[in-house]
Amino acid sequence: MDTKLQHPPEMTPDLALHLLQDGHERFQNGHTARRSLLQKVQETKDEPRPFAAILSCMDSRVAAELIFDQSIGDIFNIRIAGNVVSQHILGSLEYAIATAGAKLIVVMGHTSCGAVKGACNHVMIENLSGLLREVKISIPQELTENDDRTGENESFVNKVAVLNVYRSVQQILEQSSTIRQLADSGEIKVVPAMYDVSLGQVTFYP
């Protein structure tokens, strides 16, 4: 008997993406995996092996473990308004990839994002303004909406949200040589995605 068959397959970026896609399909079908969380606590207490890191918005509807039907110990879940990148976010991603061995980074924006709306409406609030400044950088890249370029135009907001995701991906690759080198060699992948809050549906971009 081939004993190799008894071991789980080696994690790869494509397998990690596949696991997220499978979990999302279960979420969408309403057939989430039945598992004991307390059992998962026991299984992961010494050696968790999270296979992916997901940078997404803190929006209450965008909970990565739920959307991708993952459990304790499965993923790094980094959430911040507008899924913007900063030095500490980069450091967290580098930990996930270079130290903990995750094979996939997903940057996931979402429709009807309050942070993007706030950026489009030039909201100014104490510390929030600095965060929204990061999102605002993507606004001039949006060239198709001419009539209403405010947070009231849902189509405009969602297009800016997509551009903001791509900007975060670009920043990760430009500002972390650790991540860029692993991505260049194919050891990891960095994948942009959007979550539609009205459909409960994730779209991964190539």
Closer residue to Zn ion in complex, CB, 33/125: 125
Q: Which two tokens stand for residue 202?
A: 């994730």
Element (H, E) at 104: strand 104-110
**Residues contacting Zn ion: total by CB under 5 A:** 4
User: According to the binding rule CB under 5 A, does residue 96 interact with Zn ion?
Assistant: no
Interaction of residue 188 with Zn ion, rule CB under 5 A: no
| Least distance in angstroms from the C-beta of 183 to Zn ion | 25
Q: Are 62 and 116 in contact (CB under 8 A)?
A: no
Residue 80 lies near Zn ion (rule: CB under 5 A):
no
- Considering only residues 55, 59, 68, 71, which one is a binding residue for Zn ion as defined by CB under 5 A? 59
Nearer to Zn ion, 57 or 93 (CB): 57
| Backbone angle region of 113, left / alpha / beta, with phi > 0 → left and psi within -120 to 50 → alpha | beta
d(CA 164, CA 55) in angstroms, rounded, equals: 12
**Owner of token pair 């279960």:** 26
CB of 144 to Zn ion, least distance (A): 21
Helix (H, G, I), strand (E, B) or coil at 84: coil
110-129 residues in contact with Zn ion (CB under 5 A) are: 113, 115
Residue among 19, 52, 54, 57 that touches Zn ion (CB under 5 A): 57
In angstroms, the CA 141 to CA 162 distance is 11
**Footprint of Zn ion (CB under 5 A):** 57, 59, 113, 115
